[in-house]
């Protein structure tokens, strides 16, 4: 497993309190946005010794250099030294950006992730990727650095809007499809999501992700397994964002998982039954994304810009049966178009 403690469930906050007590941090800073201040901080606060809040505005639009400048400025005004610690209380935006700010302030202070969305609990808080968006490019500036610890409290999910919960759940589905055929059978029976169901699934996802990350921390090969559903999904997500009609990450990834499962089937890696099983569950869980055929070319162009490509070739992770992957599979624009056509067409005919 990874080199830092990950605590999940009721004991997480007492464990955090213990960690803060036995560590010799000079100051404790808690980074929040207005949502996590209102909904999550009240649960955290009783477990903290003396600390100072830094508040930013929520949303991906603020995951940028200006917000970093503001946080660095606040840290400087507080005269934080290198033994201070930053507690990132929020979703993936706070975790990625708070980690980045901490890792660069005075060449790096400690930080702790306290993820509050399902996406950040099952994905963003594990794996050490930090960063911000820059000039419209997602996570363009950043680094790998591990936190002192990750403390996951499923109770935070109670205040999360259902769409956000379902969006994060796409990564839970992904973790089953890439690594766990056995538990997939049970997962696909789960059609109504509730925070109460999540603890065991978070544990499962964190175990799958940390095992993969540990085997390949800098994404040389195996870590690309985690990219399943994301080559086409991410291009579609960016396309809708650019068009001014953003869709949630998990909704795009659900589409991407159908599209990339179709390509896996086309190449003979996945059986028809498996494709249908995956597709039927994802269609049941997620709203259909209407992708106009006139946008297909633009989506292919976006897929070409993916950070995971090699030498200008689009590299995709395909399934080799449920529970196994084939990384570095080259796909062409025409494959993306046929997968998007498949995604659009099956709904029309059903």
Catalytic residues: 107, 129, 171, 209, 219, 223, 227, 230, 234, 249
Structure-token pair, residue 166: 């379902």
| CA–CA separation, 111 and 88 (whole Å) | 7
**Does residue 233 touch ligand NAD according to CB under 6 A?**
no
**Does residue 127 touch ligand NAD according to CB under 6 A?**
yes
Q: How far is the CB of 95 from ligand NAD (least distance, A)?
A: 7
Check if the beta carbon of residue 180 is closer than 8 Å to that of residue 207.
Answer: no
Three-state DSSP state, 92? helix
Query: Residues 7, 33, 85, 112: which binds ligand NAD (CB under 6 A)?
Result: 33
Three-state DSSP state, 132? strand
Q: How far is the CB of 82 from ligand NAD (least distance, A)?
A: 24
With respect to ligand NAD, which residue has the nearer C-beta, 121 or 264?
A: 121
Q: How far is the CB of 262 from ligand NAD (least distance, A)?
A: 24
Write the DSSP symbol of residue 306.
Answer: -
With respect to ligand NAD, which residue has the nearer C-beta, 159 or 346?
A: 159
Q: Which stretch binds ligand NAD (CB under 6 A): 48-56, 73-81, 120-128, 188-196?
A: 120-128
- Count the neighbouring beta carbons within 10 Å of the beta carbon of residue 62: 18
Query: Could you please report the per-residue DSSP string of 271-302?
Result: -HHHHHHHHHHHHHHSPPP---GGGHHHHHHH
- 144-157 burial, b at 16+ Cβ within 10 Å, e below that, comes to eebbbbbbbbbbbb
Q: How far is the CB of 124 from ligand NAD (least distance, A)?
A: 3
Restricted to residues 84-113, the positions that interact with ligand NAD (CB under 6 A) are 90-94, 96
Check if the beta carbon of residue 142 is closer than 8 Å to that of residue 130.
Answer: yes
Nearest residue to ligand NAD, using CB? 92
94: closest CA among 62, 139, 136, 51?
62
Q: Which stretch binds ligand NAD (CB under 6 A): 45-53, 155-163, 264-272, 304-312?
A: 155-163
With respect to ligand NAD, which residue has the nearer C-beta, 96 or 146?
A: 96
Site residues, ligand NAD (CB under 6 A): 33, 35-36, 39-40, 58-60, 63, 90-94, 96, 116-117, 119-120, 123-124, 127, 129, 139, 156, 159-160, 164
């Amino acid at each position: 497993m990874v080199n830092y403690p990950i605590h999940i469930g009721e004991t997480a906050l007492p464990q955090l309190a213990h960690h803060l007590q036995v560590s010799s941090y000079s100051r404790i800073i808690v980074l929040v946005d207005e949502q996590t201040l209102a909904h999550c901080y009240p649960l955290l606060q009783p477990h903290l010794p003396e600390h100072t809040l830094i508040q930013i505005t929520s949303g991906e639009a603020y995951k940028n250099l200006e917000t970093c400048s503001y946080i660095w400025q606040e840290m400087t005004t507080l005269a934080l030294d290198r033994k201070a610690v930053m507690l990132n209380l929020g979703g993936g935006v706070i975790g990625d950006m708070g980690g980045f700010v901490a890792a660069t302030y005075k060449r790096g202070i400690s930080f702790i992730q306290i993820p509050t969305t399902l996406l950040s609990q099952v994905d963003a808080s594990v794996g050490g990727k930090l960063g911000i968006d820059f000039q419209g490019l997602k996570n363009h500036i950043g680094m790998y650095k591990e936190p002192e610890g990750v403390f996951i409290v499923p109770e935070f999910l109670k205040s999360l809007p259902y769409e956000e919960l379902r969006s994060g759940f796409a990564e839970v589905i992904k973790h089953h499809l890439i690594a766990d055929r056995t538990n997939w059978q049970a997962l696909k029976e789960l059609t109504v999501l509730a925070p109460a169901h999540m603890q065991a699934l978070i544990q499962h996802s964190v175990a799958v992700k940390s095992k993969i990350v540990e085997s390949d921390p800098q994404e040389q090969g195996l870590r690309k397994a985690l990219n399943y559903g994301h080559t086409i999904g991410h291009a579609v997500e960016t396309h809708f964002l650019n068009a001014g009609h953003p869709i949630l990450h998990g909704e795009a990834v659900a589409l991407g998982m159908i599209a990339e499962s179709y390509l896996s089937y086309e190449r003979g890696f996945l059986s028809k039954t498996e494709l249908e099983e995956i597709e039927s569950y994802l269609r049941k869980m997620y709203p259909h994304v209407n992708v106009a055929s006139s946008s297909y070319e633009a989506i292919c162009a976006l897929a070409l810009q993916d950070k995971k490509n090699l030498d200008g070739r689009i590299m995709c992770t395909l399934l080799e049966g449920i529970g196994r992957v084939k990384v570095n599979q080259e796909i062409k624009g025409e494959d993306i178009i046929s997968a998007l056509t498949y995604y659009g067409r099956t709904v029309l005919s059903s």
